[in-house]
Every structure is written in C-alpha cells, then in structure tokens.
Amino acid sequence: MSRLPAGRILIVSPTLADANTGNWQTARRWAQFLRAHYRVRIARDWNNEPDDAMIALHARRSAPAIAAFAASGRPVALVLTGTDLYRDIRDDRDAQHSLELARRLVVLQPQGLEELPPALRGRATVIEQSAPALSPGTPRQRTFDLLLVGHLRAEKDPLTAVRALARLDDAASRRIRLVHVGGAHDEALARQMREAARVDPRIELRGPLAHATTRALIRRGRLLLLPSLIEGGANVLIEAVTAGVPVLASRIGGSTGMLGADYPGFFPVGDDAALAALIRRCRDEPAFLERLRVHCARCAPHFAPQREAAAVLALAHNLLAHRRAGSVPLPSSRTTER
C-alpha cells in the first residue's frame, strides 16, 4: 500500500478553470507540482476544511479566506498579483491585512520585492513562473502576425496596440495582422475592440481559446505584444519567450523584472507611437528582431518548469514545517507601514 502524502495544501484562487485567467493557470500548475508529495485542492474560499496550509493568490480578493485560515493558527503563503503589488497594497486595507497575516509572501519576478513594505521583505521569496519550452513554429509568410493575448480589461490596455497598428498605414504595413485572444471581461472595451476590427481588417478577434490552442498560436507569431498597465509577472510573456517568440512590452515593473531593464523591446506605457516604431523596426530590420530573440533566449532558462517546481515545493515544505512546529496566529493589526 502506497504511503499517503504528508500534508493537505489548499490553493485559493479568485478565478477557476471556467475563467482561464493567469491566476488560474498559476494555481493549476502549482497544484500539479505539489500533488506528487501532498494532498492538494484548488478553491475560491476556505470553509473550515482540514487543510494544513494555504497558498493564496491575490491579497485583496482572497482576503476573507486568508483571514479565516490564519486565525485558525495554520500557515498562509500569499502570492502577490500585479494588482496587489502595483495598486492594492498601497491603499486597500484588506490587501494590507493579508500581507500582515501571511507567513510567506511570494512575488513572481525579482522587481516585485521592491514594492513590498521594507518590514515585510524578510518574509518574501521570488518564484518565477514557467512554461514548457516549445520549438519555434513556422510563421505565416503572407502576414506579419502580432499576438495580443489577454482578457479584455483596462489593466491590459489593448487599445494602445490598436492605436499603434493604425499608425502603420504605409503599403508595407498592409501585411501586418493584429490577432487578439481573450474574453470580454470589460464590455465597453470589447465594443471598442469590435469597432476597431470593423474599421481595420488587419485586426482579428479570436475570443477566448483553450490554453493549448493559444500557445500554438503564439509560437507561430512574429511578436507578442504586452502593452499592460500592470503585471505581476505575465504568464503569456513566459509562454512567448519559451517558444522563441520575442516580446514588445510596456516598461512596467512586472516586465522589466522578467526581461531586465536593458531589454530593447520596451516602450513607455500607453505610447502607441513608440510601439508602432518598434513594430516597424522589427518588420524592416531582421537584425533587430534577432537581437530581441537572442535576449529572450537568454532569459528563458529562468522560466524552466523544473526551477519553478523546486521553488514551489520548497515553499510548501516551509509552510508545513511551521504547521508541525505548532504556529500561532499572527497579530491582526489592520495597518501596514510603507
């Protein structure tokens, strides 16, 4: 008879498989890493089940589950998302309370540590996310495909990509195609995207696709565009880099933390003119496109599944060590000094 896994771990995610968000993809992948060693389940909340440790994604949206679990004396690790790091922990009391209650804090790229209150950085660790490496696909020859992947939300700023495409109106730009994959989480933004696609036939709206289908589409693209206002550590950036596809990204902490501040494919947030100039350069200068590809290839080993799995297992071991040692609840102060 096989030995049962030593410990029950709950992964709390504000979204589950039906939403297919970055949070869900992280939760799903971490559960796979942990299941060889522990009993693991994923849920939106905690209802007093006999779990030994919690790994919670999103400080604000998972705050009730974190508070209840920590009050029981059991250890919590909090994985900080982009909206946590770059917005909520500054002024949202629930998010701040979650920071205080967590025994371990996790950021998804090294720059994220700088966003934490100094007093809490000693609890923090960096776990870079991963994707299996794929050999680059053969791009379509008739078109120069730009991939824009992410559900339509203001934080993703897809209209910067649309405006950049509109600037590329010369004859050589007629073969450029902007392909968007993702659901309509913001209906007003979805209407704007539909109108843009009606006006410009170079825009294709694919809607939400299965994860495997999306990865296959990315690996055949020329470039991935990531014009986000906020990212904690974008899964889609990793999926492009590990498939040999260069990225053009807004210069935000979540992306510079993954590709390095010296990456030549960054543009200022919301600057469609700068993005258009980069797209044009990638199209017209093969040496520049290759420079981006080589830089991304140097970053790819950071995003290896074995590396992420080892870090996640170490996090779980740390949490369960606290549990076996008989940890007690942390103070319940509602304020965090920055």
Q: 84-96, pLDDT tens digit by residue?
A: 999 999 999 999 9
Paired tokens of 215: 């990865």
Per-residue pLDDT tens digits for 121-160: 999 999 999 999 999 889 988 999 999 999 999 999 999 9
What is the spatial distance between Cα 193 and Cα 280, in angstroms, rounded to a whole number? 22
Q: Which ranges constitute the DSSP H helices of the chain?
A: 22-34, 63-71, 82-83, 89-91, 93-101, 158-167, 187-199, 211-219, 235-241, 253-259, 272-284, 286-299, 305-324
What is the spatial distance between Cα 294 and Cα 142, in angstroms, rounded to a whole number? 24
Q: What are the two backbone dihedrals, phi and then psi, of residue 134, each rounded to the nearest 5 degrees? A: -120, 145
Q: Which residue has the tokens 């998972």?
A: 62
Whole-number pLDDT of residue 226: 98
Paired tokens of 197: 């696609």
Among candidate residues 254, 246, 228, 319, the one with its CA nearest the CA of residue 285: 246
Whole-number pLDDT of residue 330: 42
Tell me if 8-129+305-324 shares its fold with 144-302: yes
Whole-number pLDDT of residue 324: 65
Domain boundaries defined on the chain: 8-129+305-324, 144-302
CB-count exposure of residue 53 (10 Å: 0-12, 13-18, 19+): buried
What is the spatial distance between Cα 295 and Cα 297, in angstroms, rounded to a whole number? 5
Give pLDDT < 70 ranges for the chain.
Answer: 1-5, 19, 323-338
Whole-number pLDDT of residue 129: 96
Paired tokens of 225: 């565009």
Whole-number pLDDT of residue 17: 78
* CATH 1.10.10.10 is held by the domain 8-129+305-324: no
Superfamily of domain 144-302: Glycogen Phosphorylase B; (3.40.50.2000)
Per-residue pLDDT tens digits for 9-18: 999 999 887 7
pTM: 0.89
